[in-house]
Structure 1
């Protein structure tokens, strides 16, 4: 009795499978369209090397993502320290209640 395969949740594996398929398909197409066997072999080796490097980087990235600890969210604008001479915040101008000599640019 065959079990149904579970749906794939491995996008990196899908990418690697398609790249491996391309490594097999590209040399065939190159030979069909007149490239020498040597040229097709070099193209195959190049594609295989790039595929292997991408696979290693994808797996490393997945491993790092799984092992990353969640960072607690911080307030992007923490409150300003309120020392002896600090301003109280926006709109708290002591003693300035609509002075006529203030320009509208201030």
Structure 2
């Protein structure tokens, strides 16, 4: 007779960076609408609420651009880690064996 079967537990996978970034952008866009409405509700002028909305939209856009760049960089690093390394094993320093400046004398050739 065999013992009772155990089913391995499935751990929830951690959220992907793109999911988290898009959630942040969605909440920021929501606040771009909600904050001016609340400001108008509490008696701020229409011009003040509009200026606040434009300011929040600008900050949200800048953050979205930075998040996308960060995601691309992380994806590039992950792809480089997974790709097999080919070619030379070590990189040479700047200028070493690559036509860099020589510190020899300045005697003319010829």
TM-score interval for Structure 1 and Structure 2 normalised by the shorter chain: 0.5 to 0.7
Segments of 5+ residues of structure 1 without an aligned counterpart are: 1-7, 72-106
| Normalised TM-score (structure 1) | 0.57
Matched, 1:36 2:45: yes
| Normalised TM-score (structure 2) | 0.55
Pairwise CA RMSD of aligned residues?
Answer: 1.6
Name the residue aligned to 1:27.
Answer: 36
Which of 68, 72, 75 is the matching residue for 1:63? 72
Q: Could you tell me how far 1:70 is from its partner in structure 2?
A: 2.5
Segments of 5+ residues of structure 2 without an aligned counterpart are: 1-14, 83-110
1:40 and 1:20 map into 2 onto residues whose CA distance is 15
Name the residue aligned to 1:47.
Answer: 56
State which structure, 1 or 2, has the greater radius of gyration over its C-alpha atoms: 1
Q: Which structure features the higher share of helix residues?
A: 2
